[in-house]
Chain A
């Protein structure tokens, strides 16, 4: 919502483009390999991932422009690797604000300063703040430059019917109604997903009581890019406030509503201003401010039981709703998009069997359940659900004022990329290893020569240490790249590797398998198993 007199797209810092619906209509009914419903960050990431595999897609978006406000603002390190793979990284690095530190205050006094894992050797910072409109704009710019992506704006999907080897989508736009067949559909149409409703599917899980208002203000405020969490501050006795810096002098104020506060009252402009001004006073901000935009959300943990329904895959918020504190809504959505994107790309290119797609739900739903476990702890601290939790939370905060060890209880759970340990396409670990990234984990991005290992990965990478083992057979497989590294390098040490050690690294940087010592035939058999293909077609 925006202040009186300003329309939903009348931003203080962002100029929304306006996109017309399709004007050339001759091809609209043509069959496409992949239809993506929703041109938000998740849908566009899926389209770009497919394009990077050479696969064409049509993106259907009911709105004529980007999201009407900045919802998700925190982009995690692993998402920057996704953007890098898509060739979309540069504008993000130029515009966003990287950060490493968080500070927690109780009754105005700092009780904890935490650092997320970071060092000079890391290619990216642990977290970056950037308004969602820019996230969408930068992804759109990359998508618009791709001949493999067609975005149809103002195009609402009104029906999704099963068809042999695909789905038939009914679409309504200002120029008329039409239908077309897609071999596969990716539903990236958000928390209120019309596709999910049309398929009669429901999210399962818990609705928490805690509700928060997020408000963006523009102000000249001298404070570094450090996340501040205020517990029981003067401005909201008993409540919790979060403060984030964003580019363009925009600040995110996030405050908890009291039990019994109605969302309708709380989102009245005068009420938002009153609350924001109280927070700014607590922060010691004396200059003026402009109210940019606000919204209200709940801390729910909801997910689909299965992220796949026939030829339709649900990605992002259509598949799962997570509390905001873990900053996993957007980031997990991007990981969903990359996960199904490369798998579908490989299947459509004939490089992998359809069985590979069965790994999408266990891997990505597993990541959601992991978020739920962490977020439930954060949520219980931010919004104690009962008297007992409230008493212990207050006791911990009070103790932390004089004893720093208690401040650790207020530490938001560090979100690290989920390990696909139980995935059907993650092979068992070789017990000969004593360190390094295990199968299912994200590959460590060690410094390599003047850059990082991640810059040398492409497709399915066979990472081989030393020069003894002959991998000529593997090098002939389409999409598979062999990367040879010295057995005495920093990378070798980070991977617990010796002469002859091999890692298989997937296009999404997760380790699929590894062997300390192995023969090439075993590696080839493992690749077949991971890609779910029979021997003849490899």
Chain B
């Protein structure tokens, strides 16, 4: 993935998180994770990323 492509993903995510509204935000993100995990096709890698992304959260 090129830096330009990841930037487009970044921007689209920002806009979509705003657009879906507070109530559906979490479900939207969880749904996207399931869809991306399915596309990735590697369960072990997904579990690694879940653990990885849990690190360094603000206040966490």
Contacts and interface: CB of A to CB of B under 8 A. Distances in A.
A391 B30 contact: yes
B26 A396 contact: no
Nearest to A396: B34
B10 to A, nearest CB: 21
Contact of B27 (A394, A403, A405, A406): A394
A395 interface: yes
A93 interface: no
A398 B25 CA distance: 13
A406 B26 contact: no
Of listed B26, B28, B34, B38, residue having the most chain A CB within 10 A: B34
Contacts of A392: 30, 34
B47 interface: no
B50 to A, nearest CB: 12
Interface residues of A, number: 10
Contacts of A398: 27, 31
Contact of B35 (A391, A394, A399): A399
Contacts of B35: 399, 403, 406
Interface string B18-60: 0000000011101101110010000000000000000000000
Nearest to A398: B31
Contacts of A403: 35, 38
Nearest to A394: B27
B54 to A, nearest CB: 13
Contacts of B34: 392, 395-396, 399, 406
A22 B50 CA distance: 67
Nearest to B33: A395
Contacts of B27: 391, 394-395, 398
Interface in A177-200: none
B38 A391 contact: no
A406 B26 CA distance: 17
A395 B38 contact: no
Contacts of B28: 395
A398 B33 CA distance: 12
Contacts of B38: 403, 405-406
Nearest to B38: A405
A392 B35 CA distance: 12
A387 to B, nearest CB: 8
Contacts of B33: 395
B39 to A, nearest CB: 10
B41 to A, nearest CB: 11
B44 to A, nearest CB: 18
Nearest to B35: A399
Contacts of A399: 31, 34-35
Of listed A391, A403, A406, residue having the most chain B CB within 10 A: A391
Nearest to A402: B35
Contacts of A395: 27-28, 30-31, 33-34
A405 B31 CA distance: 13
Contacts of B26: 391
Nearest to A406: B34
A465 B38 CA distance: 47
Contacts of A391: 26-27, 30
B37 to A, nearest CB: 10
Interface string A400-417: 000101100000000000
Nearest to A387: B26
A392 B26 CA distance: 9
Interface in A382-398: 391-392, 394-396, 398
A398 to B, nearest CB: 5
A405 to B, nearest CB: 6
A394 B30 CA distance: 9
Contacts of A406: 34-35, 38
A29 B30 CA distance: 66
A391 B30 CA distance: 7
A107 B28 CA distance: 16
Nearest to B30: A395
Of listed B27, B28, B35, B38, residue having the most chain A CB within 10 A: B27
B17 to A, nearest CB: 14
A396 B28 CA distance: 10
Contacts of B30: 391-392, 394-395
Contacts of A394: 27, 30
A405 B41 CA distance: 12
A89 to B, nearest CB: 44
B7 to A, nearest CB: 26
Contacts of B31: 395-396, 398-399
A405 B37 CA distance: 12
A158 to B, nearest CB: 55
Nearest to A399: B31
A394 B38 CA distance: 17
A406 B27 CA distance: 14
A507 B26 CA distance: 53
25 contacts: A391-B26, A391-B27, A391-B30, A392-B30, A392-B34, A394-B27, A394-B30, A395-B27, A395-B28, A395-B31, A395-B33, A395-B34, A396-B31, A396-B34, A398-B27, A398-B31, A399-B31, A399-B34, A399-B35, A403-B35, A403-B38, A405-B38, A406-B34, A406-B35, A406-B38
Kindly list the 5 A-B residue pairs having the minimum CB-CB distance in the complex, ordered from nearest: A395-B30, A395-B31, A394-B27, A399-B31, A391-B26
Given A395-B31, A399-B31, 6 more contacts: A391-B27, A394-B27, A394-B30, A395-B28, A396-B31, A398-B27
